[in-house]
A and B are shown apart, each in its own frame.
Chain A
């Protein structure tokens, strides 16, 4: 359980990091918080020839307001995002998900960008950024490009980021008025990866009908999975338990989770359906409760 040999370098600018990434190519790994990469290296599942440590880079850790939304620098620690009042006020679902991510000591090191770039389909943050229609900024030798979260995750531990690009920023767009959200997961132990996670976001019209819905699941496929057919069941209708149950039936019909050591496919599908009903109920209660208050 010790990492294989590697060369270590800690650049002091994004440009320098890009130059190193270009020079060392496929053998290089970017080290952000290290809470996923270092376990893989300790187990020698990852054996990079070069480790490019982003922790000495200034200017990639920030949470700022932008056009009613929020921009989060990729090297922002998860613990910093968790305690951000701006994030809690606008995107309580982010805070809710972060509280389920690992443990406090993990979140002290782990970064927002690192978790997204690692793209574990059972991790919390990929599910949440997909549900919030976030935009992810990749910086490479050819400049910056912005990718919507729905195009970012392409497979198990695999994103659209090219080998010479660095994820530098996440932008969460301004949430629509009258939005309620909820993140729930079932895991064997607190802090574990989710067996199934769900992020539910409901935006209501002024007459109370559902204007927009997002239902995204973790742990049930090679990427975080958005179930548009279940969202379509909700849109245009008045939220109520029977409608949530209909959406949950759609979820079980669409998702095709796999069995593994931790849970069977049937169990995961059943949990996804139950969590759908609960999360939608909670999201609706939150938006309507806020209006009654």
Chain B
């Protein structure tokens, strides 16, 4: 037991080993130690949703976990979505539907959407709104975001298979 601990984590498929202070939140660890600044910090008490990342496939508030707690875990952040210059279909859908202005809340929302569409490939607008309830956006209103998520779901499902006959 001490104030500093060695942790091993896999972030976006890459293994990392770091010495961390016990009081360092997962959000600060990602941003400061791994320089993955795509995860944004808003309220630091679990209300705004900007810092949402996936820990072992589940969306969690990275401001409300300590880095030392994710020793051995698999983490996904917004940096893991695009491959090089090629955006992830969810990101493309946000772009195409004007679903962001300042973009501060977007990384957290994207990670929640990744989880939502893994579990529910074709969510209704009602389900989308319920799942988004933990994310605060102060720019756009939420219509465009809901539109983008519907569009993203369609992109991920692929083109409709039409009956040849």
**Contact A4 to B23, CB < 8 A, known contacts A39-B64, A105-B61, A106-B46:** yes
CB contact under 8 A between A105 and B69, given known A8-B1, A35-B64, A43-B45: no
Determine if B45 and A53 form an interchain contact, defined as CB atoms under 8 angstroms apart: no
Residues on B with beta carbons closer than 8 Å to the beta carbon of A104: 59, 112, 131, 133-134
State the CA gap A1–B44 with chains docked (Å). 7
Complex interface: chain B residues within 8 A of A106 (CB): 46, 61, 134
> Would you call A7 and B22 a contact (CB within 8 A)?
yes
Kindly list 13 other residue pairs between chains A and B, CB separation below 8 angstroms, not including A10-B69, A38-B65, A102-B134: A5-B21, A6-B22, A7-B3, A8-B2, A8-B68, A38-B25, A38-B46, A38-B63, A38-B66, A103-B134, A106-B46, A109-B65, A191-B133
Given known A-B contacts A8-B1, A105-B49, A105-B52, A3 and B23 have beta carbons under 8 A apart: yes
Nearest B residue to A8, CB-CB: B22
Flag whether B58 is at the interface (Cβ < 8 A).
Answer: yes
With A7-B3, A8-B66, A105-B52 already in contact, the answer to whether A191 and B134 are too (CB < 8 A) is: yes
Residue interface mask B17-48, A partner, CB < 8 A = 1: 00001110100100000000000000011110
Q: Are B23 and A103 in contact (CB under 8 A)?
A: no
Of B23, B59, B66, B69, which one neighbours A108 at CB under 8 angstroms?
A: B59
The reply on A42 being an interface residue by CB < 8 A is: yes
Contact A9 B1 (CB under 8 A): yes
- How many A-B residue pairs have C-beta atoms within 8 angstroms? Tell me: 91
Task: Tell me the nearest residue of chain B to A42, going by C-beta.
Answer: B44
Cross-interface CB contact of A5 among B1, B23, B60, B66, cutoff 8 Å: B23
Is A190 part of the contact surface with B, judged by Cβ < 8 Å?
yes
Given A34-B65, A35-B64, A42:B25 Cβ within 8 A: yes
B125 at the interface (CB under 8 A from A): no
A-B contact pairs, 14 of them (CB 8 A): A1-B45, A10-B69, A34-B65, A34-B69, A35-B61, A38-B64, A39-B44, A55-B69, A102-B134, A105-B52, A105-B112, A105-B134, A106-B61, A190-B133
| In the assembled complex, A2 has its CB within 8 A of some CB on chain B | yes
Whether A103 and B49, one on each chain, are in contact in the complex, defined by CB atoms closer than 8 angstroms, is yes
Instruction: List residues of chain A with CB within 8 A of the CB of B134.
Output: 102-106, 191
Chain A residues, CB < 8 A from B28: 2
Alpha-carbon distance between A93 and B99 when the two chains are bound, in angstroms: 36
Q: How far apart are the CA atoms of A79 and B25 in the complex, in Å?
A: 22
Which residues of chain A have C-beta atoms less than 8 A from B46's C-beta?
35, 38-39, 102, 106
Tell me how far the C-beta of B106 lies from the nearest C-beta in chain A, rounded to whole angstroms. Answer: 16
A6 touches B23 (CB 8 A): yes
Q: Is there a chain B Cβ closer than 8 Å to A98's Cβ? A: no
In angstroms, Cα B46 to Cα A41, docked, is 12
Whether a CB of chain B sits under 8 angstroms from the CB of A149 is no
Instruction: List A contacts of B131 (CB < 8 A).
Output: 104
Q: Scan A174-194; emit 1 where CB is below 8 A from any B CB, else 0.
A: 000000000000000011000
